[in-house]
């Protein structure tokens, strides 16, 4: 909290553009056998083949929940050989694409560093088309902090190639890690359903993922789940299988702007909270789902798949259950 009872700005960096989304089912029936799909960080630039096959599942949450400090710490820890949790990947046998089952923020942080894109770089500009002022500020903050504590990808790469031009052995060592270190990886064996179940098990802890998010994932092909995701992401989502894709994107972007609006300023006197709250938060997610259900006369809010307890009344027993997402 800040003086006067306000809310401290969140300062979160939007890395959502850095890994494309795609439906698991388009990836084929089974995973590729054998070793894990190993790669070095230099493979994460757009002109390298590995970066073109990376995908997030269509139901993966928005990669918009890390601060500049968290991104810098992740990159520094990886370059210095500190413990970084393994990425969990599923490698499609049919398409050859690699889906991120767990670790989207970690991998996106490395991609952001390699491409100098923390929400306002070339990849993000192409994806979002229009960058909100606050997102550009987060990008700049992260760039400056990275340069101060770690060094940019280009700078460390240059030092590793020309070690005699610097008297900093740590920077040379970090630069050489670009070509030698490999992120820790675990591989999911099985078909697309196995990969999806793995994601749900990993994120089943309520402290990791909100129960409403889990229900929306399970019912992600239902109309109100699709509408909720479209509105939350301002139309930047994966709708290739749906009719009227352009109309969905345009309308979702318009409604998102009306509900949330741009985050214009960041300081301790004026919190970065738009009209309907901070987008991508669990509270905003539930609010948008409520709004979609209310407009479409779907009640009560379909946020849980659990049965309600049995309630006994005089002369009868009434079993009450919550409606699942998308029953209407």
SS (H, E, C) the chain: CECCCECCCCCCECCCCCCEEECHHHHCCEECCCCCCCCCHHHHCCCCHHHHHEEEECCCCCCCCECHHHHHHHHHHHHCCCCCCCEEEEEECCCCCEEEEECHHHHHHHHHHHHCCCCCCHHHHHHHCCCCHHHHHHHHHHHHHHHHHCCCHHHHHHHHHCHHHCCCHHHHHHHHHHHHCCCCEEECCCEHHHHHHHHHHHCCCCCCCCHHHHHHHHCCCCHHHHHHHHHHCCCCCCCCCCCCHHHHHHHHHHHHHHHCCCCCCCCCCCCCCCCCCCCCCHHHHHHHHHHHHHHCCCCCCCCCCCEEEEEEECCEEEEEECCCCCCC
Q: Please indicate, yes or no, whether residues 4 and 85 belong to a single structural domain of this protein.
A: yes
* Number of domains within the chain: 2
Give pLDDT, residue 318.
37
Q: pLDDT grade, residue 210 (50/70/90)?
A: low
Of 172, 202, 232, the residue at which a domain comes to its end is 202
Domain boundaries, position 158: 1-202
Q: Please indicate, yes or no, whether residues 23 and 122 belong to a single structural domain of this protein.
A: yes
Q: pLDDT grade, residue 237 (50/70/90)?
A: low
- Highest average pLDDT, of 44-53, 189-198, 293-302, comes from 44-53
Q: Please indicate, yes or no, whether residues 106 and 222 belong to a single structural domain of this protein.
A: no
pLDDT tens digit string along 154-193? 999 999 898 887 778 888 999 999 888 888 888 888 888 8
Q: Please indicate, yes or no, whether residues 165 and 311 belong to a single structural domain of this protein.
A: no
Q: Please indicate, yes or no, whether residues 195 and 265 belong to a single structural domain of this protein.
A: no
The stretch 13-17 carries a mean pLDDT of 93
pTM (2 decimals)? 0.65
Of 202, 230, 259, the residue at which a domain comes to its end is 202
Q: Please indicate, yes or no, whether residues 19 and 74 belong to a single structural domain of this protein.
A: yes
Q: Please indicate, yes or no, whether residues 244 and 318 belong to a single structural domain of this protein.
A: yes
């Amino acid at each position: 909290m800040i003086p006067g009872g306000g809310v401290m700005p969140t300062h979160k960096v939007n890395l959502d553009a850095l890994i494309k989304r795609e439906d698991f089912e388009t990836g084929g029936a089974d995973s590729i056998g054998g070793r894990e799909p190993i790669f070095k960080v230099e493979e994460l630039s757009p002109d390298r083949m590995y970066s073109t096959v990376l995908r997030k599942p269509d139901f993966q949450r928005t990669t918009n929940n890390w601060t500049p400090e968290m991104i810098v710490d992740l990159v520094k820890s990886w370059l210095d050989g500190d413990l970084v949790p393994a990425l969990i990947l599923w490698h499609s046998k049919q398409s050859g694409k690699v889906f991120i089952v767990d670790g989207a923020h970690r991998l996106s942080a490395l991609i952001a560093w390699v491409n100098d894109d923390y929400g306002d770089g070339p990849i993000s500009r192409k994806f979002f088309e229009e960058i909100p002022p606050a997102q550009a500020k987060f990008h700049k903050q992260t760039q400056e902090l990275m340069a101060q504590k770690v060094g940019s990808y280009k700078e460390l790469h240059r030092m590793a190639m020309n070690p005699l031009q610097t008297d900093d052995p740590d920077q040379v060592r970090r630069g050489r890690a670009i070509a030698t270190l490999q992120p820790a990886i675990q591989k999911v064996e099985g078909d697309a359903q196995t990969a999806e179940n793995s994601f749900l098990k990993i994120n089943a802890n309520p402290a990791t993922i909100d129960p409403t998010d889990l229900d929306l994932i399970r019912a992600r092909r239902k109309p109100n789940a699709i509408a909720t995701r479209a509105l939350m992401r301002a139309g930047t989502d994966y709708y290739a299988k749906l009719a009227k894709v352009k109309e969905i994107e345009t309308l979702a972007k318009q409604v998102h702007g009306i509900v949330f609006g741009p985050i214009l300023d960041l300081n301790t006197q004026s919190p970065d909270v738009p009209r309907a709250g901070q987008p991508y938060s669990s509270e905003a997610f539930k609010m948008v789902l409520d709004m979609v259900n209310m407009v479409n006369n779907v009640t009560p809010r379909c946020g849980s798949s659990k049965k309600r307890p049995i309630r006994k009344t005089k002369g009868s027993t009434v079993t009450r259950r919550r409606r699942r997402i998308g029953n209407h």
